[in-house]
Amino acid sequence: MSGTARWPLAGAIALLALPLALSDFWLFIAIEVLAFALYAVSFNVLLGYGGMLSFGHAAFFGVGGYAAALLMKKTGLSAGAAFALVPLAAMVASAALAAVTGFFSVRRSGIYFAMLTFAFQMLLYTVALKATGLTGGDDGMTGLRPPGVLAKPLAYYYFALALVAPALYVLYRLVNSPFGYTLRALRANARRVQYIGVDVRAHQLAAFIITGAFAGLAGGLFALSNGNVFPGWLNWTASATPIVMAVLGGVHTFLGPALGAAVYVVLEVLISGKTEYWPLAMGIIILILVLLMPEGLTGLAKRRAA
Amino acid sequence: MIDSFLQQLAWLQNPVVVARQLLAGVSNGMLLFLICAGLSLIFGVLRIINFAHGALFMLGALIAVSLTALAPGASASFVAALIGATAGLAVLGAALETGLLRRIYRAPHEFQLLLTFALVFVLGDVAKLIWGREDHSVSVPAALDGSMRALGLTFPNYRLFLIVVGVAVAVGLWIVLHRTRWGIFVRAATMDRDMLSALGVNTRRLFTSVFAAGAALAGLGGALAAPIVAVGPGLHVQVIIDAFVVVVIGGMGSVLGALVASLLVGIVNAFGVLAFPGLAVVLTFAVMAIVLIVRPWGLFGAPE
pLDDT in tens, A253-268: 999 999 999 999 999 9
Check pLDDT > 80 for residue A124.
yes
Nearest to A115 by CA among A130, A101, A129, A134: A101
SS (H, E, C) B35-48: HHHHHHHHHHHHCC
Burial zone of A234 (CB within 10 Å; 0-12 exposed, 13-18 middle, 19+ buried): buried
Which among B109, B126, B241 has the least Cβ separation from residue A114?
B109
The confidence score (pLDDT) of residue A295 equals 80
Spell out which residues of chain B touch residue A279, defining contact as CB-CB under 8 Å: 121-122, 124-125
- Pairs across A and B, CB distance < 8 A: 108
Which among B104, B114, B281 has the least Cβ separation from residue A243?
B114
Spell out which residues of chain B touch residue A244, defining contact as CB-CB under 8 Å: 114
Angle (CA) A143-A144-A147 rounded to 5° is: 125
The confidence score (pLDDT) of residue B278 equals 67
Q: Write down the ipTM of this complex.
A: 0.85
Nearest chain A residue to B298 by CA: give it. A112
Which among B109, B117, B281 has the least Cβ separation from residue A286?
B117
Nearest to A64 by CA among A38, A45, A86: A86
Angle (CA) B15-B19-B21 rounded to 5° is: 120
Q: Are A129 and A232 in contact (CB under 8 A)?
A: no
Spell out which residues of chain B touch residue A108, defining contact as CB-CB under 8 Å: 292, 296
How confident is residue A1, by pLDDT bands cut at 50, 70 and 90? very low
C-alpha to C-alpha distances, B40 to A225, A237, B105, B243, nearest whole angstrom: 42, 21, 17, 9
Nearest to A209 by CA among A91, A63, A107: A91
Helix or strand (DSSP H, E) at B247 = helix B235-250
Which among A120, A243, A279 has the least Cβ separation from residue B289?
A120
Best of B46, B101, B103, B114 to mutate (most A CBs within 10 Å, chain A): B114
CA-to-CA distance for A162 and A176, rounded, in angstroms? 22
Q: What is the mean pLDDT of chain A?
A: 90
In 3-state terms chain A splits into helix, strand, coil percentages (rounded to 5) of 80, 0, 15
Rg (CA), chain A: 19
CA-to-CA distance for A232 and A237, rounded, in angstroms? 8
C-alpha to C-alpha distances, A105 to A91, A236, B302, nearest whole angstrom: 20, 17, 20
The confidence score (pLDDT) of residue B7 equals 66
In terms of pLDDT, which residue wins out, A240 or B279?
A240
Spell out which residues of chain B touch residue A129, defining contact as CB-CB under 8 Å: 281
The amino acid sitting at A19 is P
Share of chain A above pLDDT 70, in %: 98
Can you give the residue ranges of every domain in chain B?
28-142+156-233
Nearest chain A residue to B278 by CA: give it. A130
Check pLDDT > 60 for residue A2.
no
Nearest chain A residue to B102 by CA: give it. A291
Nearest to B87 by CA among B55, B115, B119, B64: B64
In terms of pLDDT, which residue wins out, A128 or A301?
A128
Best of B115, B125, B239 to mutate (most A CBs within 10 Å, chain A): B125
Task: Note down pLDDT in tens along chain B; length 304 residues.
Answer: 566 666 666 666 777 778 888 888 899 999 999 999 999 999 889 888 899 999 999 999 999 999 988 887 788 889 999 999 999 999 999 999 999 999 988 888 889 889 999 999 999 999 999 988 888 888 888 778 877 777 777 788 888 999 999 999 999 999 999 999 999 999 988 888 888 888 888 888 999 999 999 999 999 999 999 998 888 888 888 788 888 889 888 888 888 999 999 998 888 888 877 777 667 777 777 778 788 788 878 888 777 6
Interchain CB distance below 8 Å, A283 and B288: no
Burial zone of B275 (CB within 10 Å; 0-12 exposed, 13-18 middle, 19+ buried): middle
Q: Are B142 and B157 in contact (CB under 8 A)?
A: no
Interchain CB distance below 8 Å, B289 and A284: no
Interchain CB distance below 8 Å, A115 and B292: yes
Nearest to A168 by CA among A27, A56, A15: A15
Spell out which residues of chain A touch residue B286, defining contact as CB-CB under 8 Å: 123
Residues whose CB is less than 8 angstroms from the CB of residue B238 and which lie 6 or more positions away in sequence, other chains included: B54
Burial zone of B241 (CB within 10 Å; 0-12 exposed, 13-18 middle, 19+ buried): buried
DSSP per-residue string spanning B185-231: HHHHHHHHHHHHHHTT--HHHHHHHHHHHHHHHHHHHHHHHGGGS-B
Per-residue pLDDT of A172-218, as tens digits, reads: 999 999 999 999 999 988 889 999 999 999 999 999 999 999 999 99
Per-residue pLDDT of A136-167, as tens digits, reads: 888 889 888 888 888 888 899 999 999 999 99
In 3-state terms chain B splits into helix, strand, coil percentages (rounded to 5) of 75, 5, 20
Q: Does B110 touch chain A (CB under 8 A)?
A: yes
Q: Are B59 and B222 in contact (CB under 8 A)?
A: yes
Give SS3 for B70: coil
Q: How far is B91 from chain A (nearest CA, A)?
A: 20
Per-residue pLDDT of A86-112, as tens digits, reads: 999 999 999 999 999 999 899 888 888
Strands (E), chain B: 147-150, 153-156
